[in-house]
Amino acid sequence: MAETLLLETRDGVRVITLNRPDVLNAFTATMGDELHDALRDAEQDAAVRSVLLTGAGRGFCSGQDLREESPGPRAYGALLRTRYNRIILRMRTMETPVLAAVNGVAAGAGCNLALAADLRIASDRASFIEVFARIGLIPDSGGTWLLPRLVGTGRALEMMMLAEPVDAPTAERIGLVNRVVPHDELLPRAMEWAARLAQGPTRAYGLIKRGVERNLSADLRSALDYEAFLQDIAGRTDDHREGVSAFREKRTPAYRGR
């Protein structure tokens, strides 16, 4: 039983809801531990084939809880290494696909948490703020790595230095999110996507994640070689056999994620 999260599993989808709505789901030490463990558990549970991450109330996540510790000069390195970095790394390296349903403001580490998901679907009330510079910090939790790759260096630096909110339509236009939907449709639409992922060839999705992650910093020759390596693995899965059989038999494939 988590103190700061709501957890449920439906249609192969583990729904993780950040649940501190009074503070727009600001991060505490407990939430950091619970979110990390919830992601790990989802990855290890064979019945879970996709993860949907969202927030309770009107915010997605407002980043570090600024009331948790007293203000003043602090050595943040250890906090980042123990709390945030392992969450971001797990989201990027776990084979299970992760979808963020961004229901409201996503600020600071909360913004970068959304960026670390594989896909983002946003409410028309969502906004994204790399808020760090407002309090004299730099974007952490993967922001300096994730954001330029999604929107390009110019826009990323603008978001990081001016620290102004990017609204949902702009986020969709610049590639920060995959889709924007009317607020009331967010959860049904996100569940539709997450269930579709859960019924898909999830082993291949995991290999896609690995390929993209590694090849973002590879030269073409080694990227091609890594694709060949991953395709060898995909080619041996039951899902690949099932996909080809279903094509030949003109039926919908029944993928099992192996």
- Interacting residues toward ligand T3D by CB under 6 A: 23-24, 26, 62-67, 76, 79, 105, 107-109, 129, 131-132, 135, 137, 140
| Residue placing its CB nearer to ligand T3D in the complex, 23 or 208 | 23
| Residue placing its CB nearer to ligand T3D in the complex, 66 or 89 | 66
| Residue placing its CB nearer to ligand T3D in the complex, 43 or 140 | 140
Q: Per-residue DSSP letters for 42-62?
A: HHH-TT--EEEEEESTTEEE-
Backbone angles phi, psi at 238, to 5 degrees: -60, -35
Q: How far is CA 233 from CA 63, 225, 228, 230, in A?
A: 38, 13, 9, 5
The residues, any chain, with a CB within 8 Å of residue 209's CB and separated by 6 or more, are 92, 93, 94, 95, 97, 118
Rounded-to-integer distance, Cα 40 and Cα 109, Å? 19
Rounded-to-integer distance, Cα 91 and Cα 109, Å? 14
Q: Residue 91 is encoded by which pair of tokens?
A: 């989201």
| Residue placing its CB nearer to ligand T3D in the complex, 7 or 29 | 29
| Residue placing its CB nearer to ligand T3D in the complex, 79 or 218 | 79
The nearest distance, CB 132 to ligand T3D, in angstroms, is 5
The nearest distance, CB 155 to ligand T3D, in angstroms, is 19
The nearest distance, CB 198 to ligand T3D, in angstroms, is 30
The nearest distance, CB 140 to ligand T3D, in angstroms, is 6
The nearest distance, CB 195 to ligand T3D, in angstroms, is 30
Rounded-to-integer distance, Cα 245 and Cα 249, Å? 6
